[in-house]
Amino acid sequence: AQSVTQLGSHVSVSEGALVLLRCNYSSSVPPYLFWYVQYPNKGLQLLLKYTSAATLVKGINGFEAEFKKSETSFHLTKPSAHMSDAAEYFCAVKSNDMRFGAGTRLTVKP
């Protein structure tokens, strides 16, 4: 069965600093991987997805993620954090059905 582990339930960065949110997955078949963002009191919105076309995936709002099969990882990065990036971020894997990680809450300090 597939699963997702997000390392760190809460990450805090300063505005302008690098954002790194970690995600590791397990899957018995080649996975589809996703990052979703949830702003307060809203539904989830897709940031980016990996579907085996390219290992480095670019998403919206300057985010990108790299698929590393040898490390079973799909970490999310952004070179320079903005205050508007403060939200909860979910990594998800699809092999049989959809499984989401527990989420990482990103705080951006001025």
Partner 1 sequence: NAGVTQTPKFQVLKTGQSMTLQCAQDMNHEYMSWYRQDPGMGLRLIHYSVGAGITDQGEVPNGYNVSRSTTEDFPLRLLSAAPSQTSVYFCASSQTGFTDTQYFGPGTRLTVL
- Interacting residues with partner 1 (CB under 8 A): 4, 6, 9, 32, 41-46, 49, 51, 90, 92, 94, 97-103
Q: What totals of helices (H) and strands (E) does the chain contain, helices first?
A: 0, 11
Please give the Cα distance from 58 to 86 (Å, whole number). Answer: 19
Q: To the nearest whole angstrom, how small is the minimum distance from the Cβ of residue 92 to partner 1?
A: 8
Q: Which is nearer to partner 1, 42 or 109 (CB)?
A: 42
Neighbours of 61 (CB within 10 A): 13
Q: To the nearest whole angstrom, how small is the minimum distance from the Cβ of residue 71 to partner 1?
A: 21
The two three-digit tokens of residue 96, written as one number: 């049989």
Q: To the nearest whole angstrom, how small is the minimum distance from the Cβ of residue 19 to partner 1?
A: 19
The two three-digit tokens of residue 70, written as one number: 């040898």
Q: Which is nearer to partner 1, 91 or 108 (CB)?
A: 91
Neighbours of 27 (CB within 10 A): 18
Q: To the nearest whole angstrom, how small is the minimum distance from the Cβ of residue 48 to partner 1?
A: 10
Contact yes or no for 81/17 (Cβ under 8 A): yes
Q: Which is nearer to partner 1, 51 or 80 (CB)?
A: 51
Q: Which is nearer to partner 1, 75 or 99 (CB)?
A: 99
